[in-house]
Every structure is written in C-alpha cells, then in structure tokens.
Chain A
Amino acid sequence: MASITATAAPGVLAKPAARVLAEALGERVLALEDFRGDLAITVDRRGWVEAARLLRDHPELDYKLFLDLCGVDYLDREDREERYEVVLHLYSVSKAHHVRLKTPVPEAEAKLPTLTGVFKGANWFEREAWDLYGIVFEGHPNLCRILTHESFEGHPMRKDYPTARRHVLESPRELLLKVPPGSENLVINIGPSHPSMHGAFRVQARLDGETIVDAEAEIGYMHRNFEKMAEERTYWQIIPYTDRLNYCSSFMNGHGWALAVEKLLGVPAPPRAEALRVILSELSRVMDHLVCIGANIVDLGAITPFFVMFRAREDIYDVLEACCGARLTVSYVRIGGLAQDVPEDFEARCRRAIASVREVLDQTDGLLTKNIVVQKRLKDVGVMSKEDALSWGWVGPCLRSTGVAYDVRKDHPYSGYEQYDFDVPVGTTGDTFDRYLVRMEEMRQSLRIVEQALARLPKGPVITDDRKVALPPKSEVYGTIESLMNHFKLVYDGILPPPGEVYGYTEAANGELGFYVVSDGQKHPWRVKVRPPCYNIYQAYPEMIRGGMIADAIAIIGGLNVIAGELDR
C-alpha cells in the first residue's frame, strides 16, 4: 500500500473508490490512475473478484451498474509486463460516478476467476473476452464461442491474428439447449431469420404446450468486426464504421465517438457544432424510438401504426439529407466538430420535421396507448426489477422503465445538455408497456430539446481551429503554404492523440453508449471497445421469457429494441 500511495497521482486517493480499494487490498492494488477525469484502478488478479465485489457492495461506493468487461492485447509493448489485460467498467447510480478496474493477465497463464457470481451481466462479456482473446475465466458456467462461429480457429482480436483470415462454418449448432432424454417438449428456433428478430439473432425455446420451459439465445450473426477494423483505421476513418453500430440512429454513434476522441485529445468542439449535434442527436433518438415502437407493434400483428410512424422518419431523413447528403448512414460528425455547416433552411426543415413528429405521435397515441389489445399484450409482460436490471447492466429507456432515473444527459451533461430544460420519464413496473410509455414520452422531450436548441443556436464555426485535429478550410489550403502543409500532414499522419485511455459515454437511443479507447500515441487506436447497450439488454432476454408464453416472448423482444449492428459490432 505504501508503494501505491507513493506512486499514485496527487488527488487520486481523495476519490472514495481508490481509497477504499487501496486500504482493503493493500499491495494487491498495483496502480491508481486519473487520466482526463477517468479513475482507473489496476489490481493483481488475486484480488480481482474481491475488488469487484467491494466496489459493488461498499456503502460508500455502490457501483451496482455493470457496464462493460473486455480484454486488451498488449503484444510487444515494452511498457507492459504482461501481454493481456482485462478491463471492467462500473457505474454507481447513487454516487453518479464511473470507475475502471483493470488487471494484467500473463500470456503463459491466461486465466482469471469469473465475475459471473458478482454481476449477472458478466456472463456474455467473459465469453466474448474468451472468444476474441482466449482469456479463460475459471468457474464460468458456459465458456464457449459467442460472436464467432463454431468452426472458427484462433482468437481473432489478438494482435497477431491477421485481420482478414476467415474460416468457413461447416455445420451450424443445431441445439443450444439441453433437452432431457425422453422429453416430449417441442424445441423451436426463433431466428436468425425470423420476422420478429429485427436484425439477426437467434433464440431457441423448449416448449411445453405454449409455455416456454427453457430458452437460450445465440448472437454473432452480425459480428462484422468493428473493433478489429478500428485498430487499423485512423480516428477519422472510424466515423463511418460507428454509423453502422446502431443504424436506426446513426448520428448518435458518431456523436459519441467524436466526444470520446475529443476527451482523449482534450480538444472541445465549438458551441455551434455542439448545439447542432444535440439537435441532430435528438432527432435521431426520435427516429430510433419510432422504429422500435413501430416494429414492436408490427410483431403483435398491427401494421398500420408503423406506416403512420415511418412518415415522420422520412421527414427527419430530409433534415439529415439536407445537412450531409445521406439519409441513413450520415457520417456527418468530425473529430472536433462537424463536416460542414448546416444549410440555410435548416431551421425551417427542423420545424417541419418537429411538426410532423408531433402529429404522428398524437396519432400513435390514439392508435396504441389506450388500445385495449395493446395494453393486454404489453402490460405485466417481461417485468424486470430494478436490482436485476442494474446487475445485467441495463441502461437507457429499458433501465428507466424499471424506475431508475439514470440518464447520461442529466447526470453527466455533455455537448451543453445542461442548458436545456427537459424531463427524464421513468416507469414504475418495468414491463413492456412501461418501456413503450417511456419511449413515447422521451420523443416528446427530445422535441422540446430540439426547439430550445434551435431558438438559441449560436453563430460561429462548426469545427475546431486546432490544426492538429481538424483540416484547414479549402480556401486556405489553396492560398497558403502553411495550410497546405497542415492539410498534408493531417491527412498523411492522421490525428496523433497522447498515449492514454479514456472511456467516453453518451446517452444513445438505447442507453449509455460507451467507447473505451486506448491510444499508444500512434495514428491508429491501439484498442477500441464499444460498450453496446443492447448487449446487456439482450443478455437478460432468455431469462425474461423463461416460464412465460411463447406469444409474450415476441412482445418482449420488440420492446427491448435490440439492434444487431450494435449487439454484435
């Protein structure tokens, strides 16, 4: 402990998490860091589970919300003693604080005790870390491939795995469930190609009549390797990839990515860019919720509301298309601002979209909210408790439907959200109907934010003038030699952030979307880990449907809004 207090940066020990762990674990705490406001605690792996449990249970800390767990490969890095590292991110709702817990794992003995006994949500994350890095989690109930397929050889996220080496899947896994011998239960597959599986994921259920006795989920049908690709791209080039994470609201992912990199660089975007980002993010949130609710209702057998809702989506597409030329995958964000300023008629277009959304919401309200069929299908279906939701790592509208008022926009305002007046709707029972109501209200609140932001939209540039981050304007590039050189250097070398690691997080449509970025000072990030909100939410799904009716399973999945691109990355 003495060594830690000596080497720790000043002020770190003032943070409760650092102090409590340093006192309790003594020499097993290896390092304490505070970079860009992120508290990171490195512990020896002998103290891994104890540290996680302490963070969760200590009354002063209360880190009950499980966010993320991932591996990192530090191959050939001279500043590291061990090759691998496992990183855990937690959040304390009551103390409004994030913490990062890390532990080095040696290559010769890549093993770590499992955290599944501490956090329910750790299950799939540990499977993923094993799948992608080959780190064994001792005591894990089901350590098998999760994102890649069964015929896959090797662990692809390791630095010495060639990016493009593929393996052909010979025979897909028929049974995910264990069926007791002599059982007369029917085993059915829902997905990976099924109208109610929006995107591509698979659930296998064992049925007794119409009751689900047992269920298991499989993912990875959309694992297109965002994280591996990101390690070979510059910080700009990653922006189009982020658009395709949650493709229902592309802009918000880019927004989150830009903020994470800006946090790493310490370069803020100008106020006009931030206000425009807020406007477009909120409109994207509306788009996302419209698809979620519409698709949920389609699954229940009513297609009309979706036709009504999609009209509003088209009007928001118009706004995005006017700004950047693309409808869906916008790539409009840049590190340090936006690609270009909005068109002159931006405000008019936004107002038209707002009016359209308002009208559509009123119609939808009339069609659905008091509709007895919708109520009977959604009420008391898929109930989730507060405690379980936190332990699974639920965030966003799904978490808020259980009654936990955690919204990044309120608790950790970014992009100037503190200037706007808006409410955070919260549910009471945590059922599918609550999730529907929360989303409906969030859309109205989003419109309020957009209106306020439009009313006080600042003038000025839309991208930072830091020439190490943003390209100079074309007029200067053609006019002065310095700008030409700036342009050349920046395009050729890319953005060179300082070495370090940050966790940037924003409130995306499905909840806290985090980017854990590790930089070694080069133009490519060393490691990018997306904390996908859907991953935690979908993980709870098999447990939610167990014991329920098969028809309810379909009603629940639509309300969770699982997006495959974000789920599997």
Chain B
Amino acid sequence: MGLIDLFKGKFVDPTYPGVHGGGDIITTSLDAMIKWGRKSSIWPMPFGTACCAIEFMAVAFSHYDIARFGAEVLRFSPRQSDLMFVAGTIVDKQAPVLKTIYDQMPEPKWVISMGVCASSGGFYRSYHTMQGIDEIVPVDVYVPGCPPSPEGLLAALMKIQEKIQKGQQAKEPQGAHRLGASGAGAIDRRARRDDWAKDDAARHAVGQSPRGRLELRVLQGDAKEEHHG
C-alpha cells in the first residue's frame, strides 16, 4: 500500500484541517511525517536470552505475524536497529554486553523489556541475576508475563509506536540506584539467626533480656507517669 493510497479516501478524514481535495493533497509538518514513517518501519534488535525469546519467535512468525505492524525486519546488528527487545533474564555476567549493544544502537532508539525477568528479575531473586535491566539501560515499555502472551508483546509494540509518534523516549536508566544492590532485604536465614544470637548475647552481658520479650514495668508510687488519657 503506497503512501498516497493510505491518505486517500477512507483512511483520512477529508474534513480534517490540512487535508485538501478529498485527500489528494495533505499539508503537514516534516517532523510528523518522519515520525509517522519511523513508527511504521521499526527495525527491532531481538536481544533474546531465554524463554521469552522463544515466545518472541512466535510473535515474529506467521501465526502472530509482527509484519502487520511493519516491524518484521529483525536485525541482529545493533547498528541497523532502532528498537531493542530484551527477551529473557539478564544476569550480571551478561549486563556489560547488553549495555554495549544498547550503546551501539544509533539514536533515536527505544527499548522493550519483555517479561518479568528483564523487568525486575522475576522470581530469580538471586546472586547472579540482574533485578531489572533498567539498572543499566532506559526502558520505554515493560511487558509483564512469564513469558508475556504474544498479544501482550504486540500491545507493547503499539505502545512504542504511540511513543514514537509523540516523540517520547526514555533517556535514563530508571533503576540505576539498584545496580549491584546486595539484596539486603533477603538476608540468608542462617546469617539472620547468627545476628540474633550475637545480639542476645550482647544484651545478656549488660543484663538486658533478649529483644522482643515483653516485660512488665512496675511503676513506683511517686513516679509521675505521663498520662494523656
């Protein structure tokens, strides 16, 4: 379908300002024109590492057919692509590779974080798994699911198209503050037990009872207890 056909007749409202002669002549800004072209011919770079990459294949192939959205030209070279699909878990060993590839993509570029592993580490809260790729690269659209359904991924692609048309683009890694976080919230049970034992011993040495034990205080007769009741 040619550009002119698209604007003619039913695709363009002839009463719309800028549309003349029933759609034969259209006046618009060059910027809007470029964005329209850009969003209709996305060249994705599939950074597939795990299960999500298999589901990405399903989206790319005939049944779901990513070509309907003009995004079927998959490029494995970052130099030739403008949308990165991060499909799969990114572990700390892989992180510098992902960053390098992102940096090698020419501007403007967008990133879809496909699935919960790429978005937040998923259910791998562990010593070698990055807790979301937004620790190192900016993410435009997060897709939930483990893996997301193909429809979900296509919805994300349409969101990216909207963003492109609106000229929006994420610039900063949103979760940079989490980079290398030691997972302090998930202390090993054994370490926690040892900490408690040390704490109990220290309190015992100074005559205090272990934390968490309620003790009754006996009020002295002449003591003035604050009372706000």
Interface residues of A (CB under 8 A from B): 75-76, 147-149, 152, 156, 159-169, 171-172, 192-195, 198-200, 220-225, 228-229, 240-241, 243-244, 247-248, 250, 291, 306-307, 310-311, 313-314, 317, 327-329, 564-565
Contact = CB atoms under 8 A, between A and B. Distances in A.
A327 B47 contact: no
Interface residues of B, number: 47
B125 A164 contact: yes
B96 A169 contact: yes
Contacts of B187: 162
A166 B127 contact: yes
Contacts of A195: 76
Contacts of B1: none
Given A166-B182, A167-B180, A169-B92, A159 B190 contact: yes
Nearest to B127: A156
Contact of B51 (A163, A171, A172, A328): A328
A169 B95 contact: yes
Contact of B183 (A165, A193, A250, A310): A165
Contact of A163 (B58, B61, B127): B127
Contacts of B149: 327
A504 B74 CA distance: 41
Given A163-B126, A310-B57, 6 more contacts: A162-B187, A221-B94, A224-B128, A225-B126, A243-B51, A244-B50
Contacts of B55: 327-328
A248 B92 contact: no
Give chain B's interface secondary structure class: loop
Interface string B120-150: 0001111111000000000000000011010
Contacts of A156: 127-128
Contacts of B124: 224-225, 229
Nearest 8 pairs of A and B residues by beta carbon? A164-B183, A247-B51, A225-B126, A168-B180, A162-B188, A149-B93, A164-B186, A195-B76
Given A222-B49, A327-B149, A328-B54, A164 B61 contact: no
A247 B180 CA distance: 27
Interface string B174-206: 000001111101111011000000000000000
19 contacts: A148-B93, A152-B92, A152-B128, A156-B127, A164-B185, A164-B186, A167-B92, A169-B92, A192-B94, A193-B76, A224-B91, A224-B124, A228-B127, A229-B123, A243-B51, A247-B51, A307-B61, A311-B63, A314-B63
Contacts of B95: 168-169
Contact of A240 (B57, B63, B123, B182): B123
Contacts of B76: 193-195
User: Looking at B50, B179, B182, B185, which has the most chain A CB atoms within 10 Å of its CB?
Assistant: B50
B92 A244 contact: no
Contacts of A307: 61-62
A168 B99 CA distance: 13
Given A148-B128, A164-B186, A225-B129, A564 B97 contact: no
Interface string B32-64: 000000000000000111110111011001110
